[in-house]
Structure 1
Amino acid sequence: MIGIVMAGGKGTRMNLDDEKLLLKYEKPIILHVVDSLKNSNLFSKILAITSTNSPKTKKLLEENNIEIFNTPGIGYVEDLNLVLKSIDDAVLITSGDLPLLDENIIQKIVNQCESHKTWTSILVTKNFLSSLGLESDYPVNFNDQICHYTGISLVNSKKITSLENLEENCIIIDDKRIAFNLNSKQDYDLLSTT
């Protein structure tokens, strides 16, 4: 299995002077995410997906000997599609802005997913997200509940020719380690209270 960390976004919603993934939570958040994947001992390779939108993040990753896959930075779906076309293996995709991610929750996610499914997205419920003081702009209705994407998916890239019209499987895991992604300055401020 290959671990993919999406690290090429602009982070425009944060309105920061610097790149979002370089924000520190003991260490730069992007390194925390990569280390969590490494420490899970589940991946034959870990790839950080970068673009021209995140040159300082790319530089930090290279300085830490993390393998890079550079994309044009057109958009999340387009960049991910480009990466998945080059991989013929099972893949765990995570956003690079999950500061509480750890190896235990990664192991739990991988163990809960069915490998024969093409695409499994990990969701948290809106109620759980609200209980943490967090919000998300991308609700989805699943099992008669309002849920939100965590930015984590398990994908069997062998079965994918395009990201269009995929049958998406979903699993709800209400856990702050995957619910807490940084989309605003308020989210980053809340991080210090966890």
Structure 2
Amino acid sequence: MRALIMAGGAGSRLNQGEKPLILINNHPMIRYVIDAFFGARCEVVVATSLKTPMTRNWCRVNGIDSYNAGGVDYIRDMVETVQALEEIQPLFVSVSDIPCIDAGIITDIHEAYVRSGKEACSTWVPTRIVKACRGGMTYRETIKNEDVCPTGLNILRGDRIAELQDELQLVIADPRLALNVNTRADRAAAEAFLNERSGRP
């Protein structure tokens, strides 16, 4: 299955250069996301833009396929990239700033998607977990009477990428999906989480 990692945004809130290349424990943040998808046996393509030329160069140097989208906004860049790749099968679409995900999470999401029989799958975390990790998010929904926030990790049908799709709304109470890096405090929280998971002090 193909995985499209969106990495064309300016990352202005962090103000530390191109967001995908911000170092988390001495590794570019996007590396963690790419490795998780590789571990789940996905074919990875990174969507960059004119706002992230160094990320595109990093992909080239590291042998990662990339496509340089228009950089208008997340949705239009996603649609443009999927259409340019001529992808007609379901694919993962992921943000590049959730460095704590791993192959197991991705596999679990894919399995739930297949079981559902739906066209698409959106993933969500309970707001109570997001608040604990990074101070909450502005966009929220209520799913099965629970206040939730999007994780930025979804599955969509490539042949219908510009259309609304019947989706499974999958709520996952896992802090690894809640650690979305938007501020310096988020970065520190992600580093601490990854250190704890690896046993480093």
Q: Normalization by structure 1: what TM-score? A: 0.90
Secondary structure (helix, strand or coil) at the match of 2:110 reads helix
Secondary structure (helix, strand or coil) at the match of 2:76 reads helix
Q: CA 1:167–1:22 in structure 2 vs 1: closer, same or farther (change >3 Å)? A: same
Q: CA 1:89–1:149 in structure 2 vs 1: closer, same or farther (change >3 Å)? A: same
The match for 2:49 is 51
Alignment of 1:65-84 (within 5 A): 65-84=63-82
**Residue by residue, what CA displacement relative to the aligned partner does 1:53-112 show, whole Å, maximum 9, x if unpaired?**
111111111110000111000000101111233311110111111111111111111111
Provide the rounded CA distance (Å) in 2 between the counterparts of 1:113 and 1:55.
34
Structure 1 unmatched runs, 5+:
none
Q: CA 1:161–1:62 in structure 2 vs 1: closer, same or farther (change >3 Å)? A: closer
Provide the rounded CA distance (Å) in 1 between the counterparts of 2:34 and 2:168.
25
Question: Paired residues, what number?
Answer: 189
**Residue by residue, what CA displacement relative to the aligned partner does 1:155-180 show, whole Å, maximum 9, x if unpaired?**
1223x1624x4434310011122211
**Structure 1 segments of 4+ aligned residues over 3 angstroms from their partners:** 165-168
1:127 aligns with 2:128: yes
Percentage identity across aligned positions?
Answer: 24
Is the contact made by 1:31 and 1:61 (CA closer than 8 Å) also made in structure 2?
Answer: no
2:58 counterpart letter in structure 1: L
The match for 1:37 is 37
The match for 1:64 is 62
The structure with more helix, counted as a fraction of residues: 2
Provide the rounded CA distance (Å) in 2 between the counterparts of 1:48 and 1:138.
25
Secondary structure (helix, strand or coil) at the match of 2:33 reads helix
1:94 counterpart letter in structure 2: S
What root-mean-square deviation, in Å, do the aligned CA atoms of Structure 1 and Structure 2 show? 1.6
1:184 aligns with 2:193: no
Secondary structure (helix, strand or coil) at the match of 1:18 reads coil
